[in-house]
Structure 1
Amino acid sequence: MTDALDRRLARLSHLRREALSPGDPVALPIVPASMYHLPGDPAGVRQYGRFANPTTEGLEDALGHLEEAAVVALPSGMAAIAALFYGLLATGDRVLLPSDGYYTTRRLAERFLAPMGVACDTRPTAAFLDGGFDGYRLVLAETPANPGLDLCDIAAVAEAAHAAGALLAVDNTTMTPLGQRPLDLGADLVVASDTKALNGHSDALYGHVAARDGALIDRLRDWRTLAGAVPGPFEGWQVHRGLETLEVRFARMCATAEALAPRLAAHPAVTALRYPGLPQDPGHALAGRQMRCYGFLIGLTLASRRAADAFIERCTLIQPATSFGGVHSSAERRARWGDAVPEGFVRLSVGCEPAEALWAALEAALDPLAA
């Protein structure tokens, strides 16, 4: 039976049709405008490029269609995080962040929120419920956490956070709206780096925040307009183009990751492996309850820093690069950025290559390390 999300995905590439007139372009146009024709009373029409852009609005409509929420587009994932911080927090507030999530979020809070009088605490994702949420204005969860792939129970965190009077935002970058639905599980806001799988082609920086509370969206839009944190129309067009193929790319990436994970776990060169789809993974049961699939990221640990670097450099179907979610498989040794992971930990982002060809390349790169 076709579920509600499948129906939304089917309609996604036809959204523009509903507003087209004969002769209009089917593809979303790029409108590189900073000024608009504005005689007389400016109320109710586009006024200036910092306030509005048709290309950005087209992408927000498409993202909102998938999220079933209003969306504010931002020029990067970190700009989306910044919108949460600066649009929703004030001096005297406290925010809770994952200690094992994306490190730049913590760095932003430590360097710029703390001097403004916003207290920042951290907690491991797997123990996110421990200690409760009393006194927090905003709780930001990241599940699966990047890069270690621990999970927290979104519904339980939402219930506890709301009981304590806190807002819950969930960074859903690793799963996209197709793999996980935080708003349906009780989160107030979703934040994501669309630079990753949603765009999928490693050629544009972008981010968004989604919420079903109009007051929250209004605050975030006001912050974006006043701060000037507006995304460019060309990047919006790129992300919109990527969004239209997200379903087929994401399905391929996740299916391949699910097939490769047990093979990688069994390889003698791999000392540990994290993937929520494995029955032995600590997050497997929770993943089955709150995720629609298990994702395309795999965390594998090799014997040493040297082994991890050699594996990445030797594999002919791995792009050595930071970030993830592209059509090409990529990997990096995350300890080089200071993440609290072993020196030999590799975050592998599975791409769209044929699964057996990718496995052959991975195996060829791992075999010498097991000798």
Structure 2
Amino acid sequence: MTGDGTRAVRAGLPEPVAYEPTMPGPVFAAHYHLPGDAVGPYTYGRDDNPTWTGLERAIGELEAPGEDVHTVAFPSGMGAIAAVLLSGVRSGDTVVLPNDCYQAMPLIRERLESYGVEVRTAPTAGEAQAKHLEGAKLLWIETPSNPGLDVCDIRRLADAAHEAGALVAVDNTLATPLGQRPLELGADFSVASGTKGLTGHGDVLLGYVTCRDRELAAQVKLWRKTSGAILGPMEAWLAHRSLSTLQLRIDRQTATALALAEALRERPEVTGLRYPGLPDDPSHAVAARQMRSGRFGCVVSFTLPDRAYAERFLAALRLVDDATSFGGVRSTAERRGRWGGDDVPEGFVRFSVGAEDPEDLVADVLRALDETAAPTAG
């Protein structure tokens, strides 16, 4: 079996054809020629598109190399999340969600409850969700959690959920398929926002669902068709193109994230530092078992003394954009409390490490911290 870098570079590409491009360009088509009564792979633009096919094949090869899996692409991560949760449960069913997950998930919870679905919640850490599985239809896991970076044991939770008769979906956004393969760990669905680390350039909104079971995939695909939640061919092509550098980006970003976390550990104004790659992080032991090749993600979280302190720090950074989202080649950071919805202190910073030279980025952060502290010195 080939390595991650080789696979990322070649994933989803067609067999070579003389004088044709090695990676076909985007196909812009609302409809296709349909001679006679023949039914081919492409009939109408809301159902399928050759550019989606290449991307979906590529993602499947990364999520489960060498296996027969099915991937369905969406125009955003929330589109993918909604497809799994809203297509798979009915009134009277029970869903278990983490209570420390992505801040838009409460909107999904409200929608589920309005449809008569019972929603139970528990923290990510300590496999706490396992206590709420009795009678559940679906368990939703997010690990590492966003933005708190707690990690849970996917295999243990998946085994417990399946014993209780529940399906398991894992939000794999932060880890990416190079850092974690939920299907190998027992999950039924691997779901992610490809907007972030998967595509990595901050220019594409994308989501996807990958699963082994053909019927589950068909259910998700039918939801895409009936809801009209389809991505454009240009976005699909850009996403596929971006995969070729995935291993290079992820390895650079995770190595730099660890260096930044180690530097922040020495700063007295920094509290609540979290990064699963730190040996003393509460999540390190579990993360080291299930996250691949030491790829613990590009996100470091920490807390500064208060809101004003955090905002001065962000303003002092020169190599880091004050922006939301994460996983891009350009480092970003934000005071997460600005959005509401996350149970974090006012000075909590979510820092997404990019592909800058590690020495330059760490120096910029330490300089910004020094400048931020200067007004209160003496």
TM over 0.5: yes
| RMSD between superposed Cα atoms in Å | 1.4
Indicate if the aligned counterparts of 1:98 and 1:123 stay in contact, CA closer than 8 A.
yes
Distance in 1 between the 2:362 and 2:153 partners?
Answer: 32
Q: Which residue of 1 aligns with 2:40?
A: 44
Distance in 1 between the 2:287 and 2:80 partners?
Answer: 25
Q: Which residue of 1 aligns with 2:119?
A: 120
Q: How many residues align?
A: 366
Distance in 1 between the 2:130 and 2:165 partners?
Answer: 17
Q: Which residue of 1 aligns with 2:151?
A: 151
Distance in 2 between the 1:198 and 1:102 partners?
Answer: 17
Q: How far did residue 8 of structure 1 move?
A: 5.3
Q: How far did residue 13 of structure 1 move?
A: 2.8
Distance in 2 between the 1:59 and 1:332 partners?
Answer: 31
Distance in 2 between the 1:154 and 1:224 partners?
Answer: 27
- 1:67 and 1:195, CA in 2 relative to 1: closer, same or farther beyond 3 A? same
Q: Which residue of 1 aligns with 2:256?
A: 256
- 1:152 and 1:46, CA in 2 relative to 1: closer, same or farther beyond 3 A? same
Distance in 1 between the 2:183 and 2:13 partners?
Answer: 27
Residue identity matched to 1:347: R
Indicate if the aligned counterparts of 1:8 and 1:65 stay in contact, CA closer than 8 A.
no
Question: Taking structure 1 as the reference length, what is the TM-score of the superposition?
Answer: 0.95
Q: Which residue of 2 aligns with 1:332?
A: 334
Q: Deviations over 1:285-323 (max 9, x none)?
A: 111111122211100110001111111111001100111
Q: Which runs of 4+ in 1 moved over 6 A?
A: none
- 1:130 and 1:89, CA in 2 relative to 1: closer, same or farther beyond 3 A? closer
Q: How far did residue 136 of structure 1 move?
A: 0.9
3-state SS of paired residue (1:13): helix
- 1:7 and 1:277, CA in 2 relative to 1: closer, same or farther beyond 3 A? closer
Indicate if the aligned counterparts of 1:9 and 1:66 stay in contact, CA closer than 8 A.
no
Quick one: which of 12, 21, 26 aligns to 2:17?
A: 21
Residue identity matched to 1:122: T
Q: Which residue of 1 aligns with 2:176?
A: 176
Q: Deviations over 1:33-86 (max 9, x none)?
A: 101111211413411000110101110011011112311101100000010112
Q: Deviations over 1:221-252 (max 9, x none)?
A: 11111221111101001111111111100100
Q: Which residue of 1 aligns with 2:135?
A: 135
3-state SS of paired residue (1:357): helix
- 1:89 and 1:140, CA in 2 relative to 1: closer, same or farther beyond 3 A? same
- 1:109 and 1:19, CA in 2 relative to 1: closer, same or farther beyond 3 A? same
Q: Which residue of 2 aligns with 1:312?
A: 314
Distance in 1 between the 2:61 and 2:11 partners?
Answer: 9
Distance in 2 between the 1:14 and 1:173 partners?
Answer: 21
Indicate if the aligned counterparts of 1:94 and 1:118 stay in contact, CA closer than 8 A.
yes
Q: Unaligned regions of 5+ residues in structure 1, if any? A: none
Distance in 1 between the 2:106 and 2:153 partners?
Answer: 21
Indicate if the aligned counterparts of 2:26 and 2:234 stay in contact, CA closer than 8 A.
yes
3-state SS of paired residue (1:299): strand
Q: Does 1:59 align with 2:62?
A: no
Residue identity matched to 1:131: K
- Alignment map for 1:52-131 (pairs within 5 Å): 52-68=48-64, 69-110=69-110, 112-127=111-126, 128-131=128-131
3-state SS of paired residue (1:103): coil
Q: Which residue of 1 aligns with 2:213?
A: 213
Q: How far did residue 206 of structure 1 move?
A: 0.3
- 1:313 and 1:101, CA in 2 relative to 1: closer, same or farther beyond 3 A? same
- 1:317 and 1:134, CA in 2 relative to 1: closer, same or farther beyond 3 A? same
- Give aligned-pair identity as a percent: 51
Distance in 1 between the 2:181 and 2:331 partners?
Answer: 25
Indicate if the aligned counterparts of 1:132 and 1:161 stay in contact, CA closer than 8 A.
no
Distance in 2 between the 1:17 and 1:181 partners?
Answer: 21
Indicate if the aligned counterparts of 1:35 and 1:48 stay in contact, CA closer than 8 A.
yes
Residue identity matched to 1:286: V
Q: Deviations over 1:142-193 (max 9, x none)?
A: 0010000011110110010001000110000000000011111111111000
Distance in 2 between the 1:122 and 1:133 partners?
Answer: 10
3-state SS of paired residue (1:139): strand
Q: Which residue of 1 aligns with 2:357?
A: 354
Distance in 2 between the 1:20 and 1:186 partners?
Answer: 35
Distance in 2 between the 1:132 and 1:109 partners?
Answer: 16
Question: Taking structure 2 as the reference length, what is the TM-score of the superposition?
Answer: 0.94
Q: How far did residue 130 of structure 1 move?
A: 4.8
Indicate if the aligned counterparts of 2:12 and 2:61 stay in contact, CA closer than 8 A.
no
Distance in 1 between the 2:13 and 2:122 partners?
Answer: 46
Q: Which residue of 1 aligns with 2:222?
A: 222
Residue identity matched to 2:360: A
Q: How far did residue 17 of structure 1 move?
A: 5.6
Q: Unaligned regions of 5+ residues in structure 2, if any? A: none
Q: Which residue of 1 aligns with 2:370?
A: 367
Distance in 1 between the 2:192 and 2:158 partners?
Answer: 18
Residue identity matched to 2:55: L
Between 6-15 and 69-78, the greater mean CA deviation after superposition:
6-15
Distance in 2 between the 1:229 and 1:18 partners?
Answer: 26
Indicate if the aligned counterparts of 1:330 and 1:350 stay in contact, CA closer than 8 A.
yes
Quick one: which of 294, 299, 302 aligns to 2:301?
A: 299
